Amino acid sequence: MSLFLEVVPVSEAVEVVRRIAPPPGCEEVPLEDALHRVLARDIHADIDIPGFDRSTVDGYAVAAAETIGASEAIPAMLQCRGRVGMGNADAGSISPGSCRYVPTGGALPGGADAVVMIEHAEQIGDDILMQRPVAPGENVVFRGEDFAAGKGVLARGRVLSPREIGVAAAVGADRVCVVTSPRIGIISTGNELVPVVETPGPGEVRDANSYLAGAFVTERGCHPVYFGIVRDERAVLKRAVSSALERCDAVLVSGGSSKDERDNTAAVIAELGEVLVHGIALAPGKPTIIGTARGKPVIGLPGHPASAFVVLVAVVDHLLAAMRQTAVSRRTVRARLTQNVPSARGREDYVRVALRDGGAVPVFGKSGLLNTLVQSEGLVRVPASSEGFEVGEEVEVILW
């Protein structure tokens, strides 16, 4: 196996990880446990929603035709025939010249087709003066107008937010079929690494990447499985990767991906499977490795946390989305650059920026520095076809 990097465009790397993403299974879970899970089957309404004509305001249920021409100067006068109680299965009916008070969410009585808001009515004894006209259907939701029985409500592939959870509950979906959450093995390599609880000695650093990658994976709806720190020994790394492959659906290995004699990650992937990509036209993150072993994706991340995080955003995000059968979801804002951002044509750059008063302030720093991660709010992507952006140019910021 050659140690020389043959870089590919970021778009090609993304295509590769999406292609090798293993399809997920599905499982049925209680609705209360389904938050942020991905639907594996469509959800349909079991009944008409709402199951009756209902008012959307506090007011008086009327036949709209009886309010034609009503105004404050010449109101339409109707006799109030009582109130509709909440949850009352029998809302009664109104006859010509009459109305009934109905609260928000209350059932519309028979003979009524609209509701006059209480703010537009005045009560004098049993008489109600309607001070403005209403059209048929005004301030009313009719039976089945929201969802008709049997109609699709939520489609497979949808991520269940609190909004979707509420809708699913309204249509009787107390249990839902969701995509199984992928298990992602997390391995950090390097003789210089020590656990977080230890104070690093000369030439040592704490293992930040395990926590960085694990938190990223969790945020994307997957389960990280930590395999700890592995020394720069090929046989030891091979055992760790093999163990991770037995328990997980994909493996992330940070460190050991650079082009040198200690290029253990690529060698181990090649021994267990196949290296598909070794080098991406991406800065930072060029030495990234993409491969498969035992039919599962194995990604080699750079050792520097800042570089590793850019690769997680630019490439691994697409792998995790494909494994969950959903789309990559990113929060972005538009901002104007406060200074020039140079870039080399043919390489996709991800520049960290801080947001200040509507401007995007580049946060430049030496390779390997961690402070740029916490001093910035997001990334600006410079396409490979560009030589950079100029001050004042509007850019899209991918928020952390």
Q: Write out pLDDT tens, residues 264-322.
A: 899 999 999 999 999 999 999 999 999 999 999 999 999 999 999 999 999 999 999 99
1 pLDDT tier (thresholds 50, 70, 90): very low
Does residue 257 have a pLDDT over 90?
no
Q: Write out pLDDT tens, residues 223-232.
A: 999 999 999 8
Identify the CATH number of the domain defined by range 332-399: 2.40.340.10
91 pLDDT tier (thresholds 50, 70, 90): confident
Q: Write out pLDDT tens, residues 45-73.
A: 999 999 999 999 999 999 999 999 999 99
Write down the architecture of domain 54-141 according to CATH: Beta Complex (2.170)
pLDDT at 114: 98
pLDDT at 258: 55
Residues with Cβ within 8 Å of 295's Cβ and at least 6 positions away in sequence, in order, are 22, 273
Domain ranges of the chain: 10-25+181-323, 26-49+153-179, 54-141, 332-399
Q: Which CATH number fits domain 26-49+153-179: 3.40.50.2020, 3.40.50.450, 3.40.50.300, 3.90.105.10?
A: 3.90.105.10
Q: Evaluate whether 394 touches 342 at the Cβ level (below 8 Å).
A: no
Write down the architecture of domain 10-25+181-323 according to CATH: 3-Layer(aba) Sandwich (3.40)
Does residue 369 have a pLDDT over 80?
no
* Nearest in space to 24 (alpha carbons), one of 222, 187, 168: 222
Q: Write out pLDDT tens, residues 299-314.
A: 999 999 999 999 999 9
**Which tokens go with 174?**
């107390």
259 pLDDT tier (thresholds 50, 70, 90): low
Q: Evaluate whether 261 touches 223 at the Cβ level (below 8 Å).
A: no
* Nearest in space to 222 (alpha carbons), one of 364, 380, 70, 21: 21
Q: Write out pLDDT tens, residues 70-83.
A: 999 999 999 999 99
The number of angstroms, rounded, from the C-alpha of 146 to the middle of its chain's C-alpha atoms is 25
Q: Fold identical between 10-25+181-323 and 26-49+153-179?
A: no
- The DSSP output letter for 68 is T
